[in-house]
Amino acid sequence: MKLFLIVTTIYLCFSGFMKADVVVTDDGSRLTGRILNIEEGTIKLETTYAGTVNIDQKKVASFTTDEEVLFRVAGGKALVGKSAEGGEQGLRIQSGDVFHDVAIQAVDKVLPVTGKDPAVALEEFRKLDSKRKWLFSGGFDVLGKTGNSEDFSIGGKFEAKLKGENDEFSLSAEYENREKDGSKTADRSVGGVSYEVFRKGAIGWYVRSAVERDSITSVDLRSTSAGGFSYRFLNESDHALVARIGPGYRYTSYDSHKQDESSMTLDLGLAHNYRFNDFLSVKTDITYVPGLTGSGNDRLVQDSGLVFPLSGNRKWKMRMGIRNEFESEPAVTENLDTTYYSRIIYSWD
């Protein structure tokens, strides 16, 4: 009887330690504990020997969960299950009687079920994930040169987005000032607000408004407002393509001899985002606004950039890009204005 009580006591004392999640890193290290969550490329593992440990997901070869957890994988798929080592792509998730083979980097969120019914937990997870969330980013670039020529430039851009599952409200502000040998080559400031929503799959609508000042092109004030229809050709986690079309109105006042303009316009836009891998992505925005009445001035703006992270948590990024602005009837000599830039960006929520 005593032997039975001793064995039972030992089992009860140590049974809590027998169950554990396991994270295996690329160098073969095995870390045991409880996975609190996986988000933004970081695995938070609660351990009894080192407290909460943050592990870079890119350095993880595999992980296993002892109990069912909530997964979200690339493409927005959400499911409840256990993970195990192996699988054709490195990780196998068992959800009921179904097995899903996914890559480690394809898992972008994990949360514990915490004793709830799997179906109920999955529905709560989907509702939570679809709630709107504020996302912020600020970028800046500074360049100086002295010697044969004296160059100085400074630029920055701030964005605030309230993003939901099928809609996005955005505020932005941008400033650019560049000098060469004492003469200004750029002096531009822009502010904008927009809202876009998709209610029926790929079809949606949008409204936007922007104001701009550019002393180099003699624009004292340019105001553009537009709204219309949006269409999502692609809406995947690593590849998105959206086209927009609608009517608009533009007013431009100049600080030169050119007469002020106001006209109805057509607003055409194209936004393309493609992520090659966890390190590199490309983003392109194209807007074409031809004048329809009162002004024959057509304006085309294209901004493309390569984006890559500067830190493991991806909050710091670098964007290297090119911006082209074309006007068919400018107030200055040149129709095309091209800017090359390198911008450090910090994102937070």
CATH of the domain at 223: 2.40.230.20
> What average pLDDT does this structure show over 116-132?
64
3-class secondary-structure state, position 127? helix
Q: What is the pLDDT of residue 304?
A: 97
Residue 87: Cβ-neighbour burial (10 angstroms; 0-12, 13-18, 19+) = middle
Instruction: Verify that 214 and 92 share a domain, yes or no.
Output: no
pLDDT tens-digit map of 69-107: 888 776 567 778 788 766 666 688 887 778 888 887 778
Q: What is the pLDDT of residue 230?
A: 96
> What average pLDDT does this structure show over 321-329?
92
Q: What is the pLDDT of residue 139?
A: 93
- Choose one of 89, 110, 130: the last residue of a domain: 130
DSSP per-residue string spanning 103-123:
-GGGEEEEEE-TT--HHHHHH
Token pair 């799997």 in the structure block, residue: 118
Average pLDDT, the chain: 83
DSSP per-residue string spanning 267-308:
EEEEEEEEE-SSS-EEEEEEEEEEB-SS---EEEEEEEEEEE
Dist CA 136 CA 141 (whole Å): 17
User: Into how many domains does the chain fold?
Assistant: 2
Instruction: Verify that 147 and 278 share a domain, yes or no.
Output: yes
Question: Whole domain around residue 225: which residue ranges?
Answer: 133-348
Instruction: Verify that 54 and 200 share a domain, yes or no.
Output: no
Instruction: Verify that 183 and 320 share a domain, yes or no.
Output: yes
> 71-75, 169-173, 186-190 — which is least confidently predicted?
71-75
Residue 114 pLDDT grade (very low, low, confident, very high; cuts 50, 70, 90): low
pLDDT tens-digit map of 253-308: 998 888 888 899 999 999 999 988 878 999 999 999 998 887 778 999 999 999 99
Percentage, residues of the chain above pLDDT 70: 85
Dist CA 303 CA 284 (whole Å): 6
Residue 10 pLDDT grade (very low, low, confident, very high; cuts 50, 70, 90): very low
Longest pairwise C-alpha distance within the chain: 105
Instruction: Verify that 144 and 246 share a domain, yes or no.
Output: yes
Instruction: Verify that 123 and 51 share a domain, yes or no.
Output: yes
Q: What is the pLDDT of residue 119?
A: 65
Secondary structure of 134-166 as H, E, C letters: EEEEEEEEEEEECCCCCEEEEEEEEEEEEECCC
Instruction: Verify that 21 and 163 share a domain, yes or no.
Output: no
Instruction: Verify that 61 and 167 share a domain, yes or no.
Output: no
Nearest 5°: CA angle at 39, between 35 and 45?
A: 20
Instruction: Verify that 138 and 126 share a domain, yes or no.
Output: no
pLDDT over 60 (residue 329) = yes
Instruction: Verify that 172 and 111 share a domain, yes or no.
Output: no
Instruction: Verify that 159 and 35 share a domain, yes or no.
Output: no
pLDDT over 90 (residue 227) = yes
- Choose one of 80, 96, 130: the last residue of a domain: 130
Residue (of 228, 171, 239) closest to 197 by Cα position = 228
Instruction: Verify that 69 and 197 share a domain, yes or no.
Output: no
* Cβ proximity of 35 and 112 under 8 Å: yes
Better pLDDT: 142 or 268: 268
pLDDT tens-digit map of 154-168: 999 999 999 887 889
Give pTM, 2 decimals: 0.66
Better pLDDT: 313 or 232: 232
* Cβ proximity of 190 and 211 under 8 Å: yes
Q: What is the pLDDT of residue 282?
A: 96
Q: 228-257 burial string, b = 16+ CB within 10 Å, else e?
A: bebebeeeeeeebbbebbbebbbbbbbeee
